[in-house]
């Protein structure tokens, strides 16, 4: 019986530390998942950037003969 009592005390001492570690791991995994969702890995950003550049190259570019024509075009986008 004396052995059982010491085991119970040991569990009481260790349990809070185990619980804290489990909580930390759960919270850390949630944070990691959220960071990955909001801040995708650099490879994904590069792939998306390259894809956008290639698509932009396919489109016909608009050439403006002077600043006034560019300004008029940009103002037209706002309206």
Per residue in 5-58, pLDDT (tens digit) is: 788 888 888 999 999 999 999 999 999 989 888 877 777 778 888 888 888 788
What residues make up the domain containing 57? Answer: 2-78
Number of domains in the chain: 1
60: which 2 tokens? Answer: 């016909």
Q: What is the pTM of this model?
A: 0.43
52: which 2 tokens? Answer: 């956008």
63 closest CA partner among 54, 73, 76, 78: 73
């Amino acid at each position: 019986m004396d052995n059982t009592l010491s085991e119970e005390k040991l569990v009481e001492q260790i349990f809070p530390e185990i619980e804290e570690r489990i909580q930390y791991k759960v919270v850390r995994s949630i944070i990691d998942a959220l960071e990955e969702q909001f801040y995708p890995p650099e490879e994904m950003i590069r792939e998306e950037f390259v894809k956008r550049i290639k698509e932009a190259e396919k489109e016909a570019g608009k050439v403006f003969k002077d600043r006034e024509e560019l300004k008029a075009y940009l103002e037209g986008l706002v309206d």
